[in-house]
Structure 1
Amino acid sequence: MTDITHRFVEANGIRHHVAEAGEGPLVLLCHGFPESWYSWRWQLQALAAAGYRAVAPDMRGYGQTDRPEAIERYTLLDLVGDMVALVPALGARDAVIVGHDWGAPVAWSAALLRPDVFRAVAGLSVPFLRRGLGITTAMMPRTETAQFYMLYFQEPGRAEAEFERDPRATHRALLFGGSGDAPRPVGGSPDTAVGMVPRDGGFLSRRPVPERLPTWLTEADIDFYAAEFTRTGFRGGLNWYRNIDRDFALMAPFDGLEVAVPALYIAGDRDSVVTVAAGGIHLMPTFVPDLRGTIMIPGCGHWTQQERPDEVNAALIGFLKGLP
């Protein structure tokens, strides 16, 4: 089994912690919320064994990477800038970039804006959406008694207080609740629709902590995430959501551009993002003309590469082997 090594790299004005394995063409792996490099633990080893140099950074605001204080330092352009700067800092000329959850918009946008640096892209869970996430807070659903979770995340300190009360319980609830093993939500009212948070409760109020973890998730995994977020808090990751409107404005000059490099999309058919972003998935071939596959993994939820590592590894390696 290939060893995973760790080090720090200076890029784009901040210090990045990276986990890496293998030698060969560079593959950058961008995690989402609320995760870390650790979410790519199975891909690092599989890609290394297949002849690639796999690097998974703790993204800006997470883990051992720097966490700037100002909210406006977490825009999509800052995050893309981090990945662009990491490539030469790692001693490479170009890379294939892969992203999951929030890391997917970073990967798609990096390929969109810098095809000279990123020769191919794969997005997990979140499809390519024009102008970042393709929405503003004004577009998000809300009722008198509930609001979309991204709106709940906008007020600094509120979600932090909820999540940091017990990071271990938070991760048990979030990772199980978003997985393909969780019960499907019932009820068709706007207040209980996918992603809605009750105004008199918190994000976790409808996500019970499971007594038993699914087979893909261990107590050791929960220990790792809980320790990281006990140390760092959740503010860095939540600040990504607090730039959604700013991102929409910053990406305006690039609206309508195509992702010109070879691309792959992978998702679980039980991922709530697939439900919410169905229109974006349908439109992807229009704006990603070299889309080489849309892979839906049966029974898989949101945590794609952790829930189904073998299927994801096979899809990524097959995609990589087909590149020039």
Structure 2
Amino acid sequence: MASLRSISANGIELSVREAGEGPLVLLCHGWPELSYSWRYQIPALAQAGFRVAAPDMRGFGRSSAPAEVGAYSIFDTVGDMVALVSALGATRAAIIGHDWGAPVAWHAAQFRPDVFTAVAGLSVPPPFRGRGRPLDTLREGGITNFYWQYFQKEGVAEAEFERDIDLTMRTLLARGFSDPALSLFVQDNKGFLGGNACADHPLPPWLDENDLAIFSQAYKQSGFRGGLNWYRNIDRNWELTAPWQGAQIHQPSLFIAGEKDAVITGLIGNKRVKEMERVLPQLKRKLIIADAGHWIQQERPDEVNAALIAFLKECAT
């Protein structure tokens, strides 16, 4: 049974779910999620002999949500994880991230190989730092309506998502980034949810009404600003990571994604998956799970857990 407590780290408070004893493993969730997204992994990893800590990341759930947009850079979010390891009385950990948590995990391994001895990313491939700022690159390519761009103006996406949080969470989690009806390109005057929000949209088998209520209640309390501020640092992150241009991650690594996840099926994502060994020379396994979408650790917990446990037992003990 996981316990829940607040831990001071890197100048903020992190709400952390913990379970188990043994080598430390951090689980970093993505957007729009919570530490609850790891509800299937926490007990399984603890049972397998690991000490598991899954925080609500900065800006999410019960953790601190600084007001400043600039407080959500990759240095801040990785800094939280470095400080969390120390606050837990450890000096080393394996780190696993999904969605936005994956860049945190990849960069944590890249920035602090002395702390993070093994790394796994779910759904989002490792960092390939391009030649220009990502938002500039989109504009130069004639793209002006990608969801990253829609999220940039403070207050706009917040207003859309917070108008009916129950409906927002049902739409985002039940349809997600694998449903072609929920486009990552935002049509004028339709918002990110477009015309796809439906109060009686059926939930997938991996998400029940109780799960959905837990996510919705958390966002009713926190709002969406904190998580959206991660997107507002995309160009700044590119600037901050200049010293790691072309750098590799030399720790043992693992990648897991769903076959139908739009993050890896697009032209850029597909290329990054195929070429990730350039960044991950110690990649142990690249697992693409058939007929699965973006919320992979919730959708297919048995396969994800088996892959994570095998990886951790080989590389993090």
The equivalent position to 2:170 in structure 1, one of 166, 172, 176, is 172
Decide whether the 8 Å contact of 1:145 with 1:198 is kept in 2: no
Give the deviation of 1:8 after TM superposition. 1.0
Decide whether the 8 Å contact of 1:62 with 1:237 is kept in 2: yes
Decide whether the 8 Å contact of 2:206 with 2:298 is kept in 1: yes
Give the deviation of 1:153 after TM superposition. 0.2
SS in 1 for 2:238: helix
Give the deviation of 1:140 after TM superposition. 2.2
Give me the TM-score of the superposition, normalised by structure 1: 0.92
The equivalent position to 1:286 in structure 2, one of 278, 299, 311, is 278
Tell me, in whole angstroms, the C-alpha distance in 1 between the residues paired with 2:103 and 2:14. Answer: 19
SS in 2 for 1:72: helix
SS in 1 for 2:25: strand
Give the deviation of 1:146 after TM superposition. 6.4
Task: Report the equivalent of 2:253.
Answer: 263
Q: Deviations over 1:216-255 (max 9, x none)?
A: 1000011001100001100000000000110000001111
The equivalent position to 1:242 in structure 2, one of 232, 254, 262, is 232
Tell me, in whole angstroms, the C-alpha distance in 1 between the residues paired with 2:123 and 2:154. Answer: 26
Give the deviation of 1:199 after TM superposition. 1.8
Quickly say closer, same or farther: Cα 1:144–1:283, change in 2 above 3 A: closer
Task: Report the equivalent of 2:302.
Answer: 310
Identity %: 52
Give the deviation of 1:322 after TM superposition. 1.1
Decide whether the 8 Å contact of 1:59 with 1:65 is kept in 2: yes
The equivalent position to 1:52 in structure 2, one of 34, 50, 53, is 50
> Could you list the runs of 5+ residues in structure 1 that have no partner in the other structure?
186-191
Decide whether the 8 Å contact of 1:96 with 1:120 is kept in 2: yes
SS in 1 for 2:6: strand
SS in 1 for 2:193: helix
Task: Report the equivalent of 2:289.
Answer: 297
Tell me, in whole angstroms, the C-alpha distance in 1 between the residues paired with 2:121 and 2:143. Answer: 34
The ranges of structure 1 where at least 4 consecutive aligned residues each deviate by more than 3 angstroms after the TM superposition are: 141-146
Q: Deviations over 1:263-288 (max 9, x none)?
A: 00000000000123111112210111
Task: Report the equivalent of 2:60.
Answer: 62
Structure 2: which amino acid aligns with 1:291?
L
The equivalent position to 2:127 in structure 1, one of 126, 129, 132, is 129
SS in 1 for 2:186: strand
Give the deviation of 1:131 after TM superposition. 3.5
Number of positions where the alignment pairs a residue of Structure 1 with one of Structure 2: 313
Aligned counterparts, 1:24-103, within 5 A? 24-103=22-101
Task: Report the equivalent of 1:221.
Answer: 211
Give the deviation of 1:27 after TM superposition. 0.5
Decide whether the 8 Å contact of 1:141 with 1:148 is kept in 2: no
Give the deviation of 1:208 after TM superposition. 3.3
